[in-house]
Structure 1
């Protein structure tokens, strides 16, 4: 091999700032918003720390905690077995590590969502974006920016629910099917509490992003932040879920590499 290796070039670019690391992860704490299902269903636990010791008689030189959390709390990764359509597919520990680093495109619908929190992305929106930019990346992520991360400090504002249910943006059923079954991407990333729209319980099928994506051996990333710092094309996403055996997902540290 002549010339510097690709990895040495990357390390140098990270050191001199020509490649920036953007953290897409929401901080994980007891105040992190969690999804609320109808009361007849099981509910996820919010994140919580339980102190083991803190430089005291329980452990004089060390501080550490136990923690409890739902698999799908905070910024998290949805594995195929999370949904009944993917029940015989991979758990989160079985997701190939090579699929956790992938290119990404960012489609910006903040203006539409500011006018209508129930806004739905449709196939024509994606095709129009592709015509003006590039095709969706094969084996990459489709990230949908809606500005919803600005609400993430408040459970009430983040879920945006009233007597008719939550009102958050997402995808139409046909768009979810198209992304899962016809597009080349490996997964969908969003800023909301889940990949589906707030009204998706009443869609056909219910929760179509989960149903189609998981059933197609694809993935979800949710509660992302800082998508505003990414370009429409050219970023590389690194998703790091815990490899929980038999797990349906995991809180994840999600980073993006961006050329500056």
Structure 2
């Protein structure tokens, strides 16, 4: 539900934004040539990095305009995973077919950043979510679970963000059992994370491999990755706005992700 005490008519929402009782938090990472990209295992095509191709800059190519071509993979930066991204969801929605009613939804935040600071391979378990529910109430029907790990603090540096060694990346994620539970039993429509992908860095070793992709996308649910500023959100009471490009046949898309929440006493970085 919207964190408002009155009917959420457009005029009321605009008034709340103007007076500061409702705030917008930008959860989107900057998208540039420096944005970290996940190196995929051998046998999988590499993800192209983001880059701009300058087409005109107030010059002979267009004296009145500045414009660029955009070159990127679908799964770069803060991005949306559609079910068709994975073989388990191959017959389900592409990103251009996702109903707009699913792009604005309630969200809750589970914070495991202390555990992830102590163990970069930390995995969220069903009991962690059950413990959260005992304190905050059930997961939202038709909403998002946003998983705070503190990993966004590393996103300025590819090596820190991927945290890889000879055994591969070491980043927090979700256990296979928890991924299956989120897909088959939890009432949510998707999972949002701060890491480069919805799965843990070592998930290629799991059974099945990459269980968040396999289970959630196979169940027609969604993923959002490389979120930032989740620490500014309360455990409950957030409305999430997810805006991927409407790419016909696309498996995913870079996205602008915004959160609507009640205003804190003092503004913090990332707020509008």
Superposed pair shares fold, TM > 0.5 = yes
The one-character-per-residue Cα deviations of 1:117-147 (angstroms, maximum 9, x if unpaired) are: 0000000000000001110000000000000
Instruction: After TM superposition, give the deviation of residue 60 of structure 1 in Å.
Output: 0.3
Q: TM-score, normalised by structure 1?
A: 0.98
Give the match for residue 20 of structure 2: 17
Secondary structure of the 1:237 match is strand
Instruction: After TM superposition, give the deviation of residue 8 of structure 1 in Å.
Output: 1.2
Which of 199, 204, 226 in structure 2 is aligned with 1:201? 204
Give the match for residue 173 of structure 2: 170
Which of 141, 157, 160 in structure 2 is aligned with 1:154? 157
Residues 1:234 and 2:232 aligned together: no
Instruction: After TM superposition, give the deviation of residue 41 of structure 1 in Å.
Output: 2.1
Residues 1:113 and 2:116 aligned together: yes
Instruction: After TM superposition, give the deviation of residue 37 of structure 1 in Å.
Output: 1.1
Give the match for residue 10 of structure 2: 7
Q: What are structure 2's unaligned runs of at least 5 residues?
A: 1-5, 264-272
Give the match for residue 98 of structure 1: 101
- Distance in 2, matches of 1:95 and 1:4, equals 27
Give the match for residue 143 of structure 2: 140
Q: What are structure 1's unaligned runs of at least 5 residues?
A: none
Secondary structure of the 2:220 match is coil
Label 1:135 to 1:5 Cα distance change in 2 as closer, same or farther (>3 A).
closer
Structure 2 counterparts to residues 177-216 of structure 1, below 5 A? 177-216=180-219
- Distance in 2, matches of 1:4 and 1:119, equals 41
> Number of matched residues?
258
Residues 1:124 and 2:127 aligned together: yes
Give the match for residue 256 of structure 1: 259
Runs of 4+ in 1 over 6 A off after TM superposition: none
The one-character-per-residue Cα deviations of 1:17-72 (angstroms, maximum 9, x if unpaired) are: 11000000000000000000124320010000000000001100100000100000
- Distance in 2, matches of 1:149 and 1:224, equals 7
Secondary structure of the 2:65 match is strand
Instruction: After TM superposition, give the deviation of residue 5 of structure 1 in Å.
Output: 6.6
Instruction: After TM superposition, give the deviation of residue 4 of structure 1 in Å.
Output: 7.3
Secondary structure of the 1:10 match is helix
Residues 1:51 and 2:54 aligned together: yes
Q: Over the residues paired in the alignment, what is the CA RMSD in angstroms? A: 1.0
- Distance in 1, matches of 2:42 and 2:219, equals 29
